[in-house]
Amino acid sequence: MGRVVCGQAGWYMGEKVIIVMPAYNAGKTLKKTIDDIPPGTADEIIVVDDASSDNTVEVAKSLGITVIVHPENRGYGGNQKTCYDEALKRDPDIVIMIHPDYQYDSRLAPFIIGFIKEEVCDIVLGSRIRTRREAIKSGMPVAIRMISIIHHIPNPPPVTSLRIPEPTHPR
């Protein structure tokens, strides 16, 4: 069993933090992504598997985290919706979405949570291009620049999936 990263989030002083991960065939990278999350960062980690054909579910269960499985693939949007629906059922103060493909630096989650807690930001978006060499080596910056040129976008928006919005549901 992997190390447990969930529990009472210490320095957040009462903030309930839920990490959600929309997963599809993430069996090879899920453990590494989870292992990089500093201990005590979240009260719960939820992986939503979108009918993967690999061992994503088994890896997630072996790590002792909550696993939700879609019986058939709902696509990225459907998976993301399930992630947020499941998180909101738990009445969180802060929800973090981290993709389990190890292209985002999950070690940064506590720092980003601080921006929300200290009311510096309402939402924080991360960039895999700036934190992971794997994204740079795969040509991601070149692809984004090409898309921006084709669509006449002078400064392309960040392509991101490390999301930490404040929950906006009624208390």
β-strand partners of 95: 18
For residue 89, which phi and psi values (nearest 5 degrees)?
-60, -20
Listed residue (94, 90, 101, 92) closest to 36, CA to CA: 101
Mean pLDDT by groups of 10 residues along the chain of 171 residues: 45 80 97 95 96 98 97 96 97 94 88 86 74 53 56 51 52 42
For residue 143, how many other CB atoms are within 10 A of its CB? 12
Report pLDDT for 147: 55
What is the per-residue pLDDT for 41?
92
Predicted pLDDT of residue 82: 98
Q: How far apart are CA 92 and CA 16, in angstroms?
A: 5
CATH architecture of 10-128+159-165: Alpha-Beta Complex (3.90)
CA distance 153 to 25: 32
